[in-house]
Chain A
Amino acid sequence: MRQTLFESLTHGPLTEAAPTADDAALAELAKSLEQNARRRLGRSLSIREVDAGSCNGCELEIHALNNAFYDLERFGLHFVASPRHADVLLVTGPVTKNMREALERTYRATPDPKWVVALGDCALDGGIFAGSYAVAGGVADVVPVDLHIRGCPPSPVAILKGLIALLQA
């Protein structure tokens, strides 16, 4: 372990330069955001991730945000264990009918002001699973959405761009 730790001190960090905010995301947020929400939430956001029916591909790339290359926490963004601690709900998947009530309850448990980010192509409109008897639709069909991040799954850089836009909007 000592050798591994020493190496960490002598080698440079793996963390890469921050991407710039996604323009489309900024435009979408400008429409939905209130100035006083911005003032109250400041520049640090607590994120609660909710899988509302995804194939788990989006979760893998959200996990990657915490690795040394992307180092999400340097932006003041971090994941929390409870919706009661959260400013942002990061929701993936088509919302399945079996998860609709759980998502609604999670949304209600999150204190105002709050944002909802719908992550991935399925979260936009149900994606490839739209039309199934078991799928309620996209995230916006169940709770109000402030920002969509597209991709199947979106890469960690694409997710970062969207989340940084949240901080800058």
Chain B
Amino acid sequence: MTSLREIVAQGRRIEAHRPWPRVVVTAEGWSAAADELAGGRATLLGLWGESGVPGVVHMAAITEDDNEIAVVSLECPLQTFPSVGALHPPAIRLERAIHSLHGLKPVGAADTRPWLDLGFWDVEFPLGTRLPAANPRPAYDFLPVEGENLHRIPVGPVHAGIIEPGHFRFTCAGETVARLEQRLGYVHKGIDSLMAGATIDRAAKLAARTSGDSTVAYGVAFARAVEAALDIEVPARANYLRALMAELERLANHFGDIGAICNDASFAIMHAHCGVLREQVLRAADACFGHRLMMDRVVPGGVAVDLRADAPAILQAALKIFRQRFPRLVELYDNTASLQDRTVSTGIVRPDYAKQFGAPGYVGRASGRAFDARKAIAYAPYDALDFTVPVLNAGDVNARVWIRIHEVEQSFALIEQIIARLPNGPITTPVDSSNNNGEGLGFAEGFRGDVLAAVRLENGRVAHCHLRDPSWFQWPLLETAIEGNIVADFPLCNKSFNCSYSGHDL
């Protein structure tokens, strides 16, 4: 057994990578790192490929005991690498995506079906050595389900509601779901390929449009990665304004989703009232930052706009309304037995799965995983702000709702602290990107969980950028959570996760 720290010490250190170490390892080192994940001594943060000569696979992980982060990289001259998924199931889809996009093959993997590539592209391995796509493409085999009187329900990619596209294949015994299998990739836009060679400004815009509901989180993660690569510090005021935007984004999404979850249990009044609160957050964001979703307001080097002079008053007025109205909605949620009947004990995520998958955000925190990048990585300004990370153990829809309720309350307090302590000064540090090279890793805790951004800059441009959405480690758990529940509760379970399709499909 070789610890992650020892693996890092034995590898070839890449000096240009900041702020955490990146090392190039041998196949043995790579497999040892996979063992650390499988043994539960480290948690997978990301697994991605990079094309070149030779192709490279990267694995980001964080140790369980002391939150030490490292990236281990393996060069693949033979276009192969030892499968991580064979030892550690959370890596399976990531590996399938690496193969579909880069043509780098995980040796020993049990599941070799494509992922993200649904057979509609003109080429195979679009990020690697491109090959013309086979015509016709082989059919996709869904996993077999055996038993008497089972029936299948195919759903999507176009769904009944105003939501993103994806395919769900339910196998049911009567009303009860025996297995759900997801097939995703419908909104794959090839963001990795658009990033390669982009200017930093354009890349920041792409990052901000990876998952629109988390545009601030993506903006912060990408900016932090670029700033790490260029070894620059942003002004304190910029960090506080970023946090203010991030908490407004968290509030807007939590308000909207708490209402939408109740709506999926046919309790429309919560939806109506939460929708009003969400709209008021977006209007406050628009008044303060000039965009309802605050898109493109976070830029590498700082933030794009300063607060208007009357912004603190606008935010305090909004908070006053929220503090008045939200507790009553919480009471309504808590005291409506017909609603609780739907959410309690529905869609349980087992705590051991949450730990194994490193389930980000409220999915993890409702199942006993206390990870929050704002605490674990404690990036500025959260290292100087007072807040707690709520954790529950029930793992059901109800627990995920309550985590969000508690996080809303924490965000109120955070916004108040930010307004009170907002430092004066500049809002950007000039980013002199000309002729600069470097590699950076950045994180941000979005409303859904931690977003990872890995960036390599060459001559002031983005040579490579990979963004990992928290949904990668949540989607598979939704498959486990729905098992044994009835089909009619799927929308409720799905909404309580609210995974991103676009962020995952990239």
Contact = CB atoms under 8 A, between A and B. Distances in A.
A128 B187 contact: no
B457 to A, nearest CB: 20
Contact of A14 (B269, B276, B501): B276
B193 A133 contact: yes
Contacts, number: 143
Contacts of B500: 56
Chain A CB count within 10 A is highest, among B164, B185, B335, B500, for B164
Chain A contact residues (Cβ within 8 angstroms of B): what range?
A: 35 or more
Interface string A85-102: 000000001101111111
Contacts of A153: 212, 293
Nearest to B127: A133
Contacts of B123: 133
B295 A100 contact: no
A4 B273 contact: yes
Interface string B51-91: 00000000000000000000000000000000000000000
Contact of B162 (A62, A83, A129): A62
Contact of A57 (B160, B209, B329): B209
B6 interface: no
Contact of B158 (A69, A97, A100, A102): A102
B157 to A, nearest CB: 5
Interface residues of B, number: 53
B332 A96 contact: no
Nearest to A126: B189
B188 interface: yes
Given A57-B212, A134-B189, A66 B275 contact: yes
A59 B256 CA distance: 12
A54 B187 contact: yes
B213 interface: yes
Nearest to B185: A98
Contacts of B209: 55, 57, 128-129, 152
Given A129-B209, A134-B193, 15 more contacts: A4-B329, A5-B269, A52-B165, A54-B502, A56-B164, A56-B211, A57-B209, A57-B295, A64-B282, A81-B160, A98-B188, A100-B120, A128-B194, A133-B123, A133-B126
Interface of A: 1, 3-5, 14, 49-64, 66-69, 79, 81-83, 93-94, 96-102, 106, 128-129, 131-135, 152-153, 155
